[in-house]
Structure 1
């Protein structure tokens, strides 16, 4: 039996809040550092993922957020990945 949206929010609210606060604290630490990572592609992907979450939340239509975020951090599929990454088959 699946939970209602209210039951799910009641159960998950504090965990979601905690994770958002953790993320905010991590981004604050990056900004307060002596050097900068503004041009780092990893930070760009983090911001893309956050944007994706906020845009999909405002549309209230996407239930595949986890997949979309995962794809933000993934390489496109390359059928020749074994050769390109020099992986030896077992």
Structure 2
């Protein structure tokens, strides 16, 4: 069956174990951060993670793109000069 022809239920059934594993991995990482011996020096990164999790909870297309943009720099035409490439 062509992937484009699958129902949402079929996609969920095919993806459930992989998605579950990734969610558990994220949760475990956040737990390790919470158990850290020292408090966070930069809370900005955690705010970005919270924004990403909130993005996952909002319905709509392009969640992956929206999350990628949260973690990305804004595009600059002069990036080659700025990065000395």
Q: Specify if TM > 0.5.
A: yes
Partners of 2:41 and 2:16 lie apart in 1 by: 31
Runs of 4+ in structure 1 displaced over 3 angstroms? Answer: none
- Give the TM-score normalised by the residue count of structure 1: 0.81
Please give the alpha-carbon distance, in whole angstroms, between the structure 2 residues aligned to 1:14 and 1:28.
21
The number of residue pairs the alignment matches comes to 82
What root-mean-square deviation, in Å, do the aligned CA atoms of Structure 1 and Structure 2 show?
Answer: 1.4
Write out aligned runs for 1:1-90 (5 A): 1=2, 2-37=5-40, 39-54=42-57, 56=58, 60=59, 62-87=60-85
Query: 1 or 2 for the larger relative contact order (CA 8 Å, sep ≥6)?
Result: 2
